[in-house]
C-alpha cells in the first residue's frame, strides 16, 4: 500500500492544532513545584504556598500539615491574613472546564477564581442546613449553591466547573457576559447557566478580559489544591 505524503496545508493545520491544545489544555500545576505561578502581594502576610502532602493537623484541626512529597499546593498558614493569593501564568478563554480537588481544615476559607475574576467559594460548610452566598460552592456574593455537597473538613473534595468567558469585539467592547455553565461539587450539581454581569470582588485585576488565569485565595486561611486540570470544551 502506497501512503500519500502530507500536504503542506495539512502539516500547517496539524501544527496549529498542537499549539492550540498546548495553550488550552492540561494542568497549570505540575505537582512538583510552583513554577509558572505568582502571588498577589499585599501589605500584610507573605507567600506561604508550598508543595507537599497535606493532612488536617491532629493537634489543631483548623490547620493543615504539609508532609514531605509532591502532589498538592498547600497554603501553610494558621489563620486569616497570613498569606497571599496565588495565580497561574497560563490563561484560558472561550469555553473551558476546570477539574480540581481541594482540602480545607475545620472552619477554613478560600476561593477558586475562574479567569482570576469570578469566585467559586471554598469554605468548611459541612453539615450546615441553610446556605448563603458565602458558603461552599456558592458563586460568591451572587448565588448560593442548590445543595450542601460539602464533605467533612480534612477530606479531599472535587470541583468540576464549566465556564464561558465574556466576549469582546475588535475594539475591546464587551459583547457578551461571562457564564458559569455548570458547577459540580463531589458529583452534585450546584449551579447551571449563571450569567455574570461583572467580576466578583478581590480578583487578580478586578477587570474582565477575553482570557484569564486561575487564582486560589490564600489570604483567608489554610487550604490545599491538587489534580488541577483545565481544557477547552
Inter-residue contact 196 to 107 (CB < 8 Å): no
Residue range 11-39: average pLDDT? Answer: 69
User: Would the pLDDT of 22 be above 50?
Assistant: no
User: Would the pLDDT of 101 be above 90?
Assistant: yes
Q: Is residue 3 part of a domain?
A: no
**pLDDT tens, 172-185?**
999 999 999 999 99
pLDDT cut 90: percent of the chain above it: 85
- In the three-class reduction of DSSP (H, G, I as helix; E, B as strand; rest coil), residue 165 is classed as coil
pLDDT of res. 226: 98
Identify how many contiguous H helices and E strands the chain contains and give both numbers: 1, 16
User: Would the pLDDT of 18 be above 60?
Assistant: no
Cα distance between residue 63 and residue 161, in whole Å: 26
pLDDT of res. 12: 42
Cα distance between residue 88 and residue 116, in whole Å: 9
Q: Is residue 62 part of a domain?
A: yes
Q: Is 125 or 19 the better-scoring residue by pLDDT?
A: 125
pLDDT of res. 43: 84
Q: Is residue 67 part of a domain?
A: yes
Residue range 20-42: average pLDDT? Answer: 82
pLDDT cut 70: percent of the chain above it: 89
pLDDT of res. 100: 98
Total tally of structural domains belonging to the chain = 1
pTM of structure: 0.89
Q: Is residue 1 part of a domain?
A: no
pLDDT of res. 19: 43
Task: Give the three cell numbers for residue 196.
Answer: 455574570
Residue range 186-190: average pLDDT? Answer: 98
Q: Where does the pLDDT of residue 91 fall: very low under 50, low under 70, confident under 90, or very high at 90 and above?
A: very high
pLDDT of res. 78: 87
Q: What is the CATH number of the domain that holds 130?
A: 2.60.120.560
Instruction: Pick the closest to residue 152 from 54, 52, 53, 56 (CA basis).
Output: 56
User: Would the pLDDT of 13 be above 80?
Assistant: no
pLDDT of res. 7: 53
Inter-residue contact 158 to 148 (CB < 8 Å): no
Q: Where does the pLDDT of residue 25 fall: very low under 50, low under 70, confident under 90, or very high at 90 and above?
A: low
User: Would the pLDDT of 150 be above 90?
Assistant: yes
Exposure class string for 138-154: b at 16+ Cβ within 10 A, else e: bbbebbbbeebbbbebb
Cα distance between residue 118 and residue 121, in whole Å: 10
Residue range 93-115: average pLDDT? Answer: 98
Q: Is residue 2 part of a domain?
A: no
Q: Is residue 170 part of a domain?
A: yes
Q: Classify residue 41 by burial, with Cβ atoms within 10 Å: 0-12, 13-18, 19+.
A: exposed
Q: Is residue 36 part of a domain?
A: yes
Q: Is 233 or 12 the better-scoring residue by pLDDT?
A: 233
Distances (CA, A) of 85 to 21, 41, 74, 203: 27, 8, 12, 9
Exposure class string for 122-134: b at 16+ Cβ within 10 A, else e: bbbbbeeeebeee
Cα distance between residue 145 and residue 28, in whole Å: 27
pLDDT of res. 14: 47
Residue numbers of the domain that contains 124: 8-232
Inter-residue contact 34 to 70 (CB < 8 Å): no
Counted residue by residue, the chain has a size of: 233
User: Would the pLDDT of 142 be above 80?
Assistant: yes
N- to C-terminal Cα separation, the chain: 37
Q: Is residue 89 part of a domain?
A: yes
Amino acid at each position: 500500500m502506497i501512503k500519500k505524503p502530507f500536504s503542506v496545508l495539512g502539516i500547517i493545520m496539524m501544527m496549529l492544532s498542537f499549539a492550540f491544545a498546548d495553550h488550552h489544555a492540561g494542568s497549570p500545576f505540575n505537582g512538583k513545584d510552583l513554577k509558572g505561578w505568582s502571588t498577589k502581594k499585599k501589605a500584610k502576610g507573605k507567600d506561604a504556598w508550598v508543595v507537599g502532602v497535606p493532612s488536617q493537623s491532629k493537634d489543631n484541626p483548623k490547620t493543615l500539615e504539609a508532609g514531605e512529597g509532591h502532589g498538592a499546593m498547600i497554603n501553610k498558614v494558621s489563620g486569616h491574613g497570613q498569606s497571599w493569593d496565588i495565580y497561574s501564568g497560563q490563561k484560558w478563554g472561550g469555553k473551558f472546564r476546570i477539574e480540581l480537588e481541594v482540602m480545607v481544615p475545620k472552619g477554613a476559607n478560600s476561593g477558586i477564581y475562574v479567569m482570576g475574576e469570578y469566585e467559586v467559594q471554598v469554605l468548611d460548610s459541612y453539615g450546615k442546613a441553610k446556605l448563603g452566598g458565602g458558603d461552599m460552592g456558592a458563586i460568591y456574593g451572587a448565588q448560593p449553591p442548590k445543595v450542601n455537597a460539602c464533605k467533612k473538613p480534612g477530606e479531599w473534595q472535587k470541583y468540576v466547573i464549566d465556564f464561558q468567558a465574556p466576549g469582546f469585539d475588535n475594539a475591546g467592547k464587551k459583547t457578551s457576559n461571562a457564564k458559569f455553565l455548570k458547577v459540580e461539587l463531589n458529583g452534585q450539581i450546584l449551579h447551571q447557566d449563571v450569567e455574570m454581569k461583572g467580576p466578583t470582588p478581590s480578583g487578580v485585576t478586578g477587570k474582565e478580559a477575553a482570557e484569564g488565569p486561575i487564582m486560589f485565595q490564600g489570604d483567608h486561611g489554610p487550604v490545599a489544591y491538587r489534580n488541577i486540570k483545565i481544557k477547552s470544551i
